[in-house]
């Protein structure tokens, strides 16, 4: 019987998979990629263009329209039938175009945020796309990674993996490397394996890829997972819901038009049927969900260029509504480029460059040895806090490499943001085993009982502790990040057992190091911008209260540190939910917090009805990122787990980018409102025109005319409105509030009055043309009047597109012509609309007559009136707002 990988020794697994401790060679990788394909789970396949085109005809209304057109064609009205077919086909083509564009944009979103893995190939560590992994690859793991394929573990240093997705067990499993003898172990017990899509929560390790893609354990059940299903966003859902509601309303009106037309006005059954159905097809905003999706998706592309990668489409909308941004300090508000400024040895503070080490200097040793920095030809890589310590020693010409060689590491206790400590256990040349520990001052002092004072070790006194805390305070007030250092001689240590944090006790205190982490230069301005936009910035940090306060003050997050506006994690722990909810408005800085505190902060604000954005980078930040309305991951320093839990990822880790993204979110939301207002008021105008024409027993616009107006004036300008530039005041208004939607802020009222206005102006022009005919021939009075109504309805919509460029602001500014695509969409729409009248060959098909200049003037007047009335209403609204 074939053995499982978990039953075999690591050497045997390496051999079986034809790999080595140096990893695969480039040619092996190439060969295997050909054989085994990409490491990805099968996704639902996209529909082909032809399938999408056919799907457009599945709409009941369209089917009825086609049937009616066929009957009309047979019974003699060939021109109507032709136009209807043309419109139906063009409509379908637009539908396919919009859908494809939306799909492509969503696909692009996915590709922007693909997962990466660190592998060892040809003896070198490389970062590659996880989809390019092949069996036999060596994958390096650390806390926060998502396991990219199924792995047999070759190394494990306190490695813990949370496998809930696969086993349902939410507590992380401790991993090891030794072979397991049992034949049929359940997945949860295969302790030397790591499975695709599970999360490393702690420690470090390395594994060899045993299965990729659909061959992995998760691949086997992928078909059952709902993840691959295409999800509809809440936004699209509400828009689809709205479209359905409007469809029912419009259908009801169409039925009334049909009944009144046939029964009261005695118009022929077929003619009325065609009119009613054309009305329904024209007025039902079936393109609305696609326009919303396209606008959002195009917004994400702009954001990507500005370094904010959107992972979930609705985030674009929510971003614009953000009221609170809770940001990590290190790396987001600051540069995460640390450098050592000051050192403290019992009772003296020393400026970094003046530091003179002693023969066996425990401070220097712990800086270098309790450190995971990799020294490569390209420079130092690793955690900036740690690289800063190595850099300091290199700058001072201290012998870093020699020390590392003399004290080889035998085990380590990795840093985690709960413990706030990191330790390394090393072996000296004389066989002594020593543990070096570094970490947050208060945490480390708690575990300390002795002090290394000028070459002698003695018990630590309360006075010592006080002095150390004072020194810490002094450094922190200068905005320095302070680390404490200690060591502990170990009598014996077996490298076979995993070290436990219990070892970090009875430490001997050595000294402190203060590091500067300068603010990002653009952040101060961004915080001011946020404030102007009604957005509150909060600082959340694992760092010391005083350091946090000093930086918050420099960044103008607070004016003065007080007991009220700065709170520590331990104070937070003592607060009840109710108390926290009551106090959050006054707190601006949270110091010494652990990731679980972040969830409480988010929830407290949410209970106050606020929309909260929260940043996070570590593995433990995932719950807070998920709870926040907008989870913001870090592209550079973020772990895969945190990025996966985020709605957007900052490619540059920069706070200022969040503000840029909010700006974009607001622009996109406003543009969708503009498109919706434009589209729905136009549809309402069409419905009202037809409805009253029928009720008043006037001539009725022909089906071809209705469909044509809808085709040429709706789609182009609406999409073009979606890519409008931001208005000057986007970041001057307050956030729109959690309860707002696309109809808030007066949009619904505008749609209604503007729709009524469009209908009234069209009917008005028709009435005028009948009352005061401007034509030499009396026979053509009705045909001319109808042509004028048709031209007016179309032109009004084009003029109204300009109104819609701003919902409240005037359009009589230079920016009115700043959207080239919009300008072209208006020109093309106007050409298509008026060619039906101006080109005699088309007149008969569209049932229109040629108009003279007086008649054109009236049509033009209708359009201009629309523009002027709406602008006047906006002006009055603005004046009223001032009071």
Q: Which residues bind ligand ATP (CB under 6 A)?
A: 328-330, 383, 385-386, 415, 417, 420-422, 438-440, 481, 483, 541-543
- Write out the two tokens for 65: 């329209």
CB of 441 to ligand ATP, least distance (A): 7
Residue 409 · residue 426 · CB < 8 Å: yes
DSSP string for 755-824: HHHHHHHHHHHHHHHHHS--SS-GGGHHHHHHHHHHHHHHHHHHHHHHHTT-SSS-S-SGGGG--HHHHH
Task: Identify the burial level of 619 via C-beta atoms within 10 angstroms of its C-beta, where 0-12 means exposed, 13-18 middle and 19 or more buried.
Answer: buried
CB of 421 to ligand ATP, least distance (A): 6
Q: Compute the Cα dihedral for 666, 671, 676, 677 and give only its sign.
A: positive
CB of 376 to ligand ATP, least distance (A): 18
DSSP string for 296-356: HHHHHHHHHHTTEEESSTHHHHHHHH--EEEEEIIIIIB----EEEEEEETTEEEEGGG--
Alpha-carbon distances, residue 48 vs 54, 105, 201, 574 (angstroms): 10, 16, 41, 59
Residue closer to ligand ATP (CB basis): 65 or 333: 333
372 counts as catalytic: no
- Strands 150-162 vs 199-211: parallel, antiparallel or unpaired: antiparallel
Residue closer to ligand ATP (CB basis): 589 or 648: 589
Residue 163 · residue 200 · CB < 8 Å: no
Alpha-carbon distances, residue 285 vs 232, 246, 247, 681 (angstroms): 18, 8, 8, 11
Half-sphere exposure of 125 (CA within 13 A, CB side): 12
Residue closer to ligand ATP (CB basis): 253 or 426: 426
Q: What are phi and psi of 430, to 5 degrees?
A: -80, 10
- Write out the two tokens for 774: 């401007």
Instruction: Give how far the C-alpha of residue 748 lies from the chain's centroid of Cα atoms, to the nearest Å.
Output: 28
Give the closest residue to 505 by CA, choosing from 490, 520, 516: 490
**Closest-approach residue to ligand ATP (CB):** 542
**Alpha-carbon torsion, ordered 617, 621, 625, 628, to 10 deg:** -130
CB of 369 to ligand ATP, least distance (A): 12
Alpha carbons 853 and 850: distance in angstroms, whole number: 10
CB of 573 to ligand ATP, least distance (A): 16
Alpha carbons 570 and 171: distance in angstroms, whole number: 25
Residue closer to ligand ATP (CB basis): 198 or 330: 330
Residue closer to ligand ATP (CB basis): 483 or 702: 483
Alpha carbons 738 and 740: distance in angstroms, whole number: 6
- Write out the two tokens for 404: 């590392």
Find the catalytic residue in 328, 372, 653, 714.
328
Alpha-carbon distances, residue 398 vs 359, 389, 401, 577 (angstroms): 11, 11, 9, 51
Residue closer to ligand ATP (CB basis): 547 or 750: 547
Q: What are phi and psi of 632, to 5 degrees?
A: -115, 115
Residue closer to ligand ATP (CB basis): 32 or 329: 329
Alpha carbons 334 and 655: distance in angstroms, whole number: 9
- Write out the two tokens for 328: 């990590």
CB of 382 to ligand ATP, least distance (A): 9
Residue closer to ligand ATP (CB basis): 439 or 635: 439
Q: Where is 34: in which H helix or E strand?
A: helix 26-36
- Write out the two tokens for 10: 């690591």
Residue closer to ligand ATP (CB basis): 504 or 727: 504
Residue closer to ligand ATP (CB basis): 261 or 595: 595
Residue 117 · residue 183 · CB < 8 Å: no
Residue closer to ligand ATP (CB basis): 267 or 385: 385
Q: How many CB atoms lie within 10 A of CB 708?
A: 26
CB of 570 to ligand ATP, least distance (A): 14
Residue closer to ligand ATP (CB basis): 332 or 713: 332
CB of 542 to ligand ATP, least distance (A): 2
The 3-state DSSP class for residue 585 equals helix
CB of 638 to ligand ATP, least distance (A): 11
- Write out the two tokens for 413: 């206790």
Residue closer to ligand ATP (CB basis): 481 or 800: 481
CB of 383 to ligand ATP, least distance (A): 5
* Block residue for tokens 């006047």: 872
Angle formed by the axes of helices 78-112 and 703-722, nearest 10°: 20
CB of 322 to ligand ATP, least distance (A): 19
CB of 428 to ligand ATP, least distance (A): 22
| Geometric angle at alpha carbon 320, from 622 and 304, rounded to 5° | 70
CB of 198 to ligand ATP, least distance (A): 23
Residue 374 · residue 546 · CB < 8 Å: no
The 3-state DSSP class for residue 623 equals helix
Catalytic residues: 328
């Amino acid at each position: 019987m074939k053995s499982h990988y978990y039953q075999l020794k690591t050497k045997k697994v390496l051999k079986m998979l034809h790999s080595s401790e140096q990893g695969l060679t480039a040619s092996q990788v190439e060969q295997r990629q050909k054989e085994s394909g990409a490491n990805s789970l099968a996704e639902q396949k996209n529909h082909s263009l032809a399938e999408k085109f056919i799907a457009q005809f599945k709409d009941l209304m369209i089917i009825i329209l086609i049937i009616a057109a066929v009957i009309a064609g047979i019974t003699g009205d060939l021109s109507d039938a032709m136009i209807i077919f043309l419109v139906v086909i063009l409509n379908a083509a637009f539908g396919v175009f919009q859908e494809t564009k939306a799909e492509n944009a969503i696909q692009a979103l996915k590709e922007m945020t693909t997962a990466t893995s660190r592998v060892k190939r040809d003896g070198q560590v490389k970062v590659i796309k996880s989809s390019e992994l092949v069996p036999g690859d060596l994958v390096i793991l650390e806390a926060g990674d998502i396991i990219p394929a199924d792995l047999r573990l070759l190394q494990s240093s306190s490695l813990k993996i949370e496998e809930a997705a696969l086993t349902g067990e939410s507590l992380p499993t401790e991993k090891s490397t030794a072979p397991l003898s049992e034949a049929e172990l359940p997945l949860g017990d295969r302790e030397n394996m790591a499975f695709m899509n599970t999360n490393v929560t702690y420690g470090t390790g390395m594994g060899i890829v045993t299965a990729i893609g659909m061959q992995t354990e998760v691949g086997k059940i992928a078909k059952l997972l709902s993840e691959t299903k295409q999800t509809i966003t809440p936004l699209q859902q509400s828009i689809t819901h709205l479209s359905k509601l409007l469809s029912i309303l419009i259908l009801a009106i169409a039925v009334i038009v049909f009944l009144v037309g046939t029964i009261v006005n005695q118009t022929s059954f077929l003619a009325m049927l065609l009119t009613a159905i054309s009305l329904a097809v024209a007025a039902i905003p079936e393109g609305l969900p696609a326009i919303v999706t396209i606008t959002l998706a195009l917004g994400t592309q702009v954001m990507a260029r500005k370094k904010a990668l959107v992972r979930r489409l609705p985030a674009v909308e929510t971003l614009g509504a953000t009221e609170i941004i809770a940001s990590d300090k290190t790396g987001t508000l600051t540069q995460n480029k640390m450098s050592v400024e000051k050192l403290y040895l019992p009772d003296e503070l020393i400026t970094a460059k003046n530091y003179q080490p002693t023969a066996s200097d425990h401070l220097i040793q712990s800086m270098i040895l309790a450190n995971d920095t990799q020294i490569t030809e390209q420079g130092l890589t690793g955690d900036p806090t740690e690289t800063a310590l190595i850099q300091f020693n290199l700058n001072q010409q201290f012998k870093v490499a020699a020390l590392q060689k003399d004290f080889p590491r035998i085990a380590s206790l990795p840093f985690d943001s709960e413990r706030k400590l990191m330790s390394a256990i090393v072996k000296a040349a004389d066989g002594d085993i020593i543990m070096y520990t570094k970490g947050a001052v208060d945490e480390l002092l708690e575990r300390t009982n002795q002090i290394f004072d000028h070459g002698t070790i003695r018990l630590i006194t309360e006075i010592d502790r006080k002095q150390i805390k004072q020194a810490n305070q002094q450094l922190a007030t200068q905005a320095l990040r302070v680390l404490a250092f200690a060591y502990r001689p170990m009598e014996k240590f077996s490298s076979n057992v995993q070290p436990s944090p219990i070892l970090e006790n009875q430490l001997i205190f050595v000294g402190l190091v203060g590091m500067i982490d300068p603010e990002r230069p653009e952040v101060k301005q961004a915080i001011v911008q946020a404030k102007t936009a009604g957005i509150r910035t909060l600082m959340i940090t694992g760092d010391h209260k005083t350091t946090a306060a000093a930086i918050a003050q420099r960044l103008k997050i607070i004016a003065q540190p007080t007991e009220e506006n700065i709170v520590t994690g331990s104070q937070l722990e003592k607060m009840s939910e109710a108390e926290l909810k009551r106090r959050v408005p006054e707190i601006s800085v949270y110091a010494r917090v652990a990731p679980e505190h972040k969830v409480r902060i988010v929830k407290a604000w949410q209970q106050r009805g606020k929309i909260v954005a929260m940043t996070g980078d570590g593995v433990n930040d995932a719950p807070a990122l998920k709870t926040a309305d907008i989870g913001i991951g870090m592209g550079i320093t973020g772990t895969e787990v945190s990025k996966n839990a985020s709605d957007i990822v900052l490619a540059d880790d920069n706070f200022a980018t969040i503000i840029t993204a909010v700006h974009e979110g607001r622009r996109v939301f406003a543009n969708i409102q503009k498109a919706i207002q434009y589209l729905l008021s136009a549809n309402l105008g069409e419905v009202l025109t037809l409805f009253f024409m029928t009720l008043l027993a006037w001539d009725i616009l022909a089906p071809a005319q209705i469909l044509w107006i809808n085709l040429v004036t709706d789609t182009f300008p609406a999409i073009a409105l979606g890519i409008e530039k931001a208005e000057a005041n986007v970041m001057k208004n307050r956030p729109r509030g959690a309860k707002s939607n696309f109809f808030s802020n007066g949009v619904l009222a505008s749609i209604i009055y503007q729709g009524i206005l469009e209908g009234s102006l069209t009917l008005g022009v028709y009435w005028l043309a009948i009352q005061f005919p401007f034509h030499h021939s009396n026979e053509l009075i009705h045909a001319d009047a109808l042509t004028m109504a048709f031209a007016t309805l179309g032109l009004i919509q084009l003029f109204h597109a300009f109104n819609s460029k701003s919902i409240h602001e005037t359009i009589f500014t230079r920016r009115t012509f700043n959207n080239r695509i919009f300008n072209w969409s208006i020109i093309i729409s106007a050409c298509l609309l008026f060619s039906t009248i101006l080109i005699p060959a088309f007149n008969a098909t569209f049932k229109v007559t040629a108009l003279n200049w007086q008649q054109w003037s009236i049509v033009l007047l209708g359009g201009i009136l629309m523009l002027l009335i709406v602008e006047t209403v906006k002006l009055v609204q603005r004046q009223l707002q001032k009071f």
